[in-house]
């Protein structure tokens, strides 16, 4: 076994252990009674809609990988990219440092299906760009249309906030223009980036924005049970908190999400909605993704050997 393969297996093992520990630690903060009371406080209809929006977000995330493998020149069937996407992100969202943790798991899957290290690196780069474009687009729209809450949270003037929203919206616009006009690589000193063709760039922005719109809708449905918060209000605060969590690499946005929700809706009631949101969007996918990864590593091993 090569050193690289040994390192990769150790990294996946560390991700599994970290995810399992985080699952235990997060659930350990609450009693079963806390979780039960929080769920009961939310009407069944809103709980079902929140779960549907969480599922829709993970469906959008499978689109990230489906487009990414085409950007890498290695198109695969959706069922394969969906499997790799869900397992890697259900764990990566919780472990933190998603580019590394989910990237290692992505490589484990995609290497079985003929992608090399460089191809997987392109997949990870494309997915990272999609995250940034989705945040910029949704953030620009929400800050432009509903600036009051973000203005108070960030402590800046309305004019400065409008300038930020314009900057955010200029990023996807520039991405589309460069994808349509640029041929070859864009070089910045030692780095070079190849923009996707327009046929991939446009759906990339759409699916990236739709993903975060679904996550914000999931949180909004839960908060709407205890407050009058508007959807774009929740979206503006969520985008700010999500940017902060991505910068800090805090697993699952722990602490950051709490701060944004409590700013939006102070009081113990918001904690109940937050518990349900974490269960729906982080812990349920994690509880599914971990055993699926283990199955793929051990039960499917003969199939992998046969392919090689």
Lowest mean per-residue pLDDT among 13-22, 161-170, 260-269: 13-22
pLDDT band at residue 211 under the 50/70/90 scheme: very high
- Tokens 């996807």 map to which residue? 172
Distance in angstroms (rounded) separating the CA atoms of residues 183 and 131? 23
Average confidence (pLDDT) over 274-298 = 87
Average confidence (pLDDT) over 49-75 = 96
Average confidence (pLDDT) over 143-155 = 65
Task: Select from 162, 254, 261, 157 the least CA-distant residue to 216.
Answer: 261
pTM score of the predicted model = 0.80
pLDDT band at residue 240 under the 50/70/90 scheme: confident
Instruction: Report the phi/psi class of residue 107: left, alpha or beta, with left for phi > 0 and alpha for psi in -120 to 50.
Output: alpha
Q: Counting Cβ atoms within 10 Å, is residue 20 exposed (0-12), middle (13-18) or buried (19+)?
A: middle
Q: Where are the alpha helices (DSSP H) in 182-197?
A: none
Q: Which long-range contacts (CB under 8 A, 24 or more apart) does 65-70 make?
A: 65/106, 65/123, 65/127, 67/126, 67/130, 67/196, 67/200, 67/203, 67/204, 67/207, 68/122, 68/123, 68/124, 68/126, 68/127, 68/130, 69/110, 69/115, 69/119, 69/123, 70/200
Q: Tell whether the model's pLDDT for residue 304 goes beyond 60.
A: no
Residue burial 226-244, b: 16+ Cβ < 10 Å; e: rest: bbebebbbbbbbbbbbbeb
Task: Select from 51, 47, 41 the least CA-distant residue to 284.
Answer: 51
Highest-confidence segment of 30-34, 124-128, 146-150, 227-231: 124-128
CB 78 within 8 A of CB 90: no
Q: What percent of the chain has pLDDT over 70?
A: 69
- Residue 268 tokens, joined: 């113990």
Summarize pLDDT for 96-131 with one digit per residue, the tens: 556 566 888 898 899 889 899 899 999 999 999 999
- Residue 198, pLDDT score: 94
Distance in angstroms (rounded) separating the CA atoms of residues 18 and 115? 27
Q: Tell whether the model's pLDDT for residue 306 goes beyond 50.
A: no
Listing DSSP states for 66-81 in one string gives HHHHHHTT----HHHH
pLDDT band at residue 239 under the 50/70/90 scheme: confident
Q: Tell whether the model's pLDDT for residue 4 goes beyond 60.
A: no
Domain boundaries, the chain: 43-307
């Amino acid at each position: 076994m090569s050193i690289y393969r040994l390192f990769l297996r150790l990294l996946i093992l560390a991700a599994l252990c970290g995810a399992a520990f985080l699952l235990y630690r997060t659930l350990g903060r609450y009693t079963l009674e806390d979780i039960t009371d929080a769920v009961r406080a939310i009407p069944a209809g809103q709980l079902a809609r929140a779960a549907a929006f969480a599922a829709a977000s993970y469906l959008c995330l499978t689109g990230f990988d489906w487009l990414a493998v085409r950007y890498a020149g290695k198109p695969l069937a959706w069922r394969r990219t969906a499997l790799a996407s869900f397992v890697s992100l259900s764990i990566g969202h919780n472990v933190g440092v998603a580019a590394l943790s989910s990237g290692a798991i992505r490589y484990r899957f995609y290497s079985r299906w003929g992608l090399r290290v460089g191809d997987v690196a392109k997949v990870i780069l494309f997915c990272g760009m999609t995250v940034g474009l989705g945040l910029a687009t949704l953030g620009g729209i929400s800050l432009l249309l509903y600036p009051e809450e973000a203005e108070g949270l960030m402590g800046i003037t309305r004019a400065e906030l409008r300038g930020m929203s314009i900057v955010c919206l200029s990023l996807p616009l520039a991405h589309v223009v460069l994808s349509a006009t640029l041929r070859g690589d864009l070089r910045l000193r030692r780095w070079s980036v190849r923009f996707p063709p327009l046929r991939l760039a446009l759906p990339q922005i759409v699916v990236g924005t739709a993903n975060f719109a679904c996550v914000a809708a999931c949180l909004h449905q839960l908060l709407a049970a205890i407050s009058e918060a508007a959807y774009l209000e929740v979206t503006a605060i969520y985008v700010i908190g999500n940017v902060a969590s991505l910068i800090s690499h805090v697993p699952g946005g722990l602490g950051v999400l709490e701060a944004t929700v409590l700013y939006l809706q102070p009081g113990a009631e918001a904690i109940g909605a937050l518990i349900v949101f974490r269960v729906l969007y982080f812990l349920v996918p994690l509880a599914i993704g971990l055993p699926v990864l283990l199955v793929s590593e051990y039960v499917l091993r003969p199939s992998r050997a046969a392919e090689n």
